[in-house]
């Protein structure tokens, strides 16, 4: 090669390329990388000298045959001590689509964070070097991201459409881990740890600064934050064959994952993460209801409110029974209701209505206590009527209290939703910008013209210009108009 190999440093990341003695990219480098890629596939490696070359050869061959846009393969070496880095440089010298990034510290999350944060591709993906996942799932994985339909995509081994070959031990661990995520962090995705994922670059720019983990929990943390920000996660069933040479320390990874769950759960509970801001910036606020008077998310809120209410009712009855002897029925009823009402408001605030952080927490509790007063009036009135009519035993008292609490609970839901927490919902997001047109082999996207996607003009309050919705071919040229598709004059 005419020139010396130069290294540029980005944080703890070193990117290797070929440069002239003046430090400028050599003509060969420019010729070998003619276009800004649509897809950047990252392969994190640590001491993978045996698997790296077969992986890159198979991956480049597959993408060359099936992927219609410019692509790049980035080998992210995590402090390898064998010949992995040398093999990676040799592959990069042989294949123009391959780039090498070296990090001095281990950690899959650290490698993905470093490469994704600096990549110029439209869609960022990664896969394990052993290629346990069939590559036939790659195009279905990234297609919804290229089109702009989804923000993230994951391969899942736990879908009915997946075909998986692995040992019982790993199968049980994987399913238990995902069940744990559902129970602790309310995860809605099915498979957090499958090494086959993709994310849009604009979404990564918003989420990566919020992700703290640098190891195996990186995937889970990224997905949980994306879900809480209202982003759409596309799942692709995959064919997956276990790698018998896997060197993952299951015990150490499990402990690190549990610590990560606790840390992320605490951050979500305290509202420390600015997910509402991410939601607004990416245009993923809850949609407006299609039918007036039927709010979006009502069914989910009802279910969660019912679960919280069932727990509150049980705690209330236990407190009432425990306090009735020393305090009498009315005082026992009032104390039990007050204690459970405070806890009920706090839990519903976070779980049912999605209000996080300490802002307005005091006001919410005061309003919740006013709602509690309504419940107190209903239950105390029911007890007074019962005792005026007869001398009841313990069972009739409890039955009347349960009935009165049901009525109070229905009223409490309406008031909490419409009055207490109604003003704390996220403000509607701005109109979501259209997905960027993928760059073609000729270079980066052209300047906006009559058919370009154009956002709102810079002037305050200016209306956005019209955009073309004509489909484009893979090379970027628009499909010709048919006789029935002629544009009408303005």
Residues listed for the chain: 490
367 in the same domain as 274: no
Domain end position, chosen among 281, 312, 328 = 281
Q: In terms of domains, do 361 and 245 share one?
A: no
Give which of 319, 378, 376, 312 is closest to 348, Cα–Cα. 312
pLDDT of 197 above 60: yes
Quote the CA–CA distance of 396 and 406 in Å, as a whole number: 15
Count the domains in the chain: 2
Query: pLDDT by residue (tens digit) across 411-420?
Result: 878 888 777 7
Q: Is 403 within the bounds of a domain? A: yes
Write down the pLDDT at residue 345: 85
Last residue of a domain, one of 281, 310, 327: 281
User: For residue range 382-407, what is the model confidence (pLDDT) as tens digits?
Assistant: 888 888 888 877 788 888 888 887 88
Query: What pLDDT sits at residue 379?
Result: 80
Classify strands 13-19 and 98-103 as parallel, antiparallel or unpaired. antiparallel
Residue 66's pLDDT is 94
One domain for residues 232 and 315: no
What pLDDT is attached to residue 310? 85
pLDDT at 477 exceeding the cut of 80: no
- pLDDT at site 282: 83
CA 356/CA 350 separation, integer angstroms: 6
The pLDDT value recorded for residue 424 is: 52
- What was the pLDDT predicted at 12? 46
The model's pLDDT over 172-181, given as tens digits with 9 standing for 90+, comes to 888 899 899 9
> Is residue 474 assigned to a domain?
no
* Residue 177 belongs to a domain: yes
Quick one: 242 exposed, middle or buried, by C-beta within 10 A (0-12, 13-18, 19+)? middle
The confidence band for 167, taking pLDDT boundaries of 50, 70 and 90, is confident
Q: State how beta strands 239-241 and 163-165 pair.
A: parallel
The lowest-confidence range among 27-41, 100-114, 453-467, 475-489 is 453-467
Burial of 416 (0-12, 13-18, 19+ CB in 10 A): buried
Residue 156: both structure tokens together? 């899942």
The verdict on 232 and 162 lying in the same domain is yes
CB 133 within 8 A of CB 196: yes
Please indicate, yes or no, whether residues 191 and 272 belong to a single structural domain of this protein: yes
Please name the residues in contact with 36: beta carbons below 8 A apart, sequence gap of 6 or more: 70, 120, 121, 439, 443, 444
Q: Say which CATH number the domain at 205 has.
A: 3.90.550.10
Give the residue-averaged pLDDT of 453-466.
Answer: 35
Q: Measure the CA–CA gap between 194 and 141, rounded to whole angstroms.
A: 13
Examine the domain organization and report whether 76 and 147 are in the same domain: yes
Residue 75 has a pLDDT of 97
The reply to whether 219 falls in a domain is yes
Task: Kindly state the average pLDDT of the residues 139-159.
Answer: 94
- Report if residue 250 sits inside a domain: yes
Q: 247 and 323: one domain?
A: no
Residue 462 belongs to a domain: no
- Residues 50-74 pLDDT 10s: 999 999 999 999 999 999 999 999 9
pLDDT score at 285 = 63
Task: For residue 83, give both structure tokens.
Answer: 């010949």
Let me know whether 271 and 335 are in one domain. no
Do 114 and 241 belong together in one domain? yes
Q: Residue 423: pLDDT band by 50, 70, 90 thresholds?
A: low
- Would you state the pLDDT for residue 432? 46
Domain boundary among 369, 389, 424: 424
Strand intervals (E) in 65-131: 71-78, 98-103, 123-127
What pLDDT is attached to residue 297? 66
Asked if 199 and 320 sit in the same domain, the reply is: no
Domain hosting residue 71, numbered range: 4-281
pLDDT at 366 over 80: yes
User: Is residue 20 in a domain?
Assistant: yes
Judge if 374 and 406 occupy the same domain: yes
* 221 and 119 in a common domain: yes
Segment among 165-169, 214-218, 414-418 with least mean pLDDT: 414-418
How many angstroms from the chain centroid is the CA of residue 350? Answer: 19
Whether 460 is covered by a domain: the verdict is no
Give the separation between CA 280 and CA 431, rounded to whole angstroms: 9
Give yes or no for residue 203 having a pLDDT over 50: yes
């Amino acid at each position: 090669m005419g020139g010396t190999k130069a290294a540029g440093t980005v944080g703890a990341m070193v990117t290797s390329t070929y440069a002239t003695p003046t430090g400028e990219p050599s003509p060969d480098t420019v010729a070998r990388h003619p276009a800004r890629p649509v897809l950047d596939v990252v392969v994190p490696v640590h001491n993978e000298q045996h698997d790296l070359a077969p992986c890159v050869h198979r991956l480049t061959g597959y993408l060359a045959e099936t992927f219609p846009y410019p692509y790049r393969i980035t080998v992210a070496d995590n402090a390898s001590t064998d010949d992995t880095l040398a093999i990676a440089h040799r592959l990069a010298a042989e294949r123009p689509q391959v780039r090498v990034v070296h990090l001095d510290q281990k950690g899959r999350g650290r490698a993905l964070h470093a490469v994704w944060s600096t990549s110029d591709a439209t869609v960022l993906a990664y896969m394990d070097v052993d290629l346990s996942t069939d590559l036939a799932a790659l195009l279905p994985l990234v297609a919804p991201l290229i089109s702009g339909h989804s923000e993230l995509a994951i391969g899942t081994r736990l879908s009915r459409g997946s075909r998986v070959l692995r040992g019982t031990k790993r199968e049980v661990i994987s399913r238990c881990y995902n069940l744990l995520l559902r129970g602790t962090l309310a995860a809605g995705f099915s498979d957090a740890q499958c090494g086959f994922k993709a994310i849009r670059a604009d979404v990564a720019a918003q989420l990566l600064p919020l992700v703290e983990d640098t190891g195996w929990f990186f995937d889970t943390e990224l997905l949980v934050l994306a879900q809480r920000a209202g982003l759409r996660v596309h799942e692709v069933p995959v064919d997956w064959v276990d790698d018998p040479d896997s060197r993952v320390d299951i015990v150490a990874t499990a402990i690190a994952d549990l610590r990560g769950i606790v840390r992320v759960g605490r951050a979500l509970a305290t509202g420390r993460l600015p997910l509402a801001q991410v939601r607004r910036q990416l245009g993923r606020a809850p949609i407006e209801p299609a039918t007036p008077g039927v709010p979006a998310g009502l069914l989910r809120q009802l279910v969660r409110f019912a679960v919280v209410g069932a727990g509150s009712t049980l705690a209330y009855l236990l407190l009432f029974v425990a306090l009735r002897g020393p305090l009498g029925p009315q005082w026992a009823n009032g104390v039990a209701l007050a204690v459970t009402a405070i806890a009920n408001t706090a839990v519903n605030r976070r779980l049912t209505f999605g209000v996080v952080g300490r802002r307005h927490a005091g006001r919410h509790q005061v309003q919740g206590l006013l709602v509690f007063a309504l419940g107190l009036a209903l239950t105390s009135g029911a007890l007074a009527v019962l005792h005026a009519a007869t001398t009841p035993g313990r069972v009739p008292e409890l039955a009347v209290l349960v009935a009165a609490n049901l009525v109070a609970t229905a009223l409490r839901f309406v008031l909490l939703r419409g009055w207490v927490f109604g003003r704390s919902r996220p403000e509607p997001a701005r109109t979501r910008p259209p997905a960027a047109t993928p760059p073609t082999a000729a270079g980066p996207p052209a300047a906006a013209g009559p058919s370009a996607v154009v956002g709102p003009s810079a002037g305050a309050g200016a209306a956005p210009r019209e955009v073309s919705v004509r489909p484009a071919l893979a090379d970027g040229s628009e499909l010709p108009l048919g006789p029935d598709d002629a544009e009408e004059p303005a």
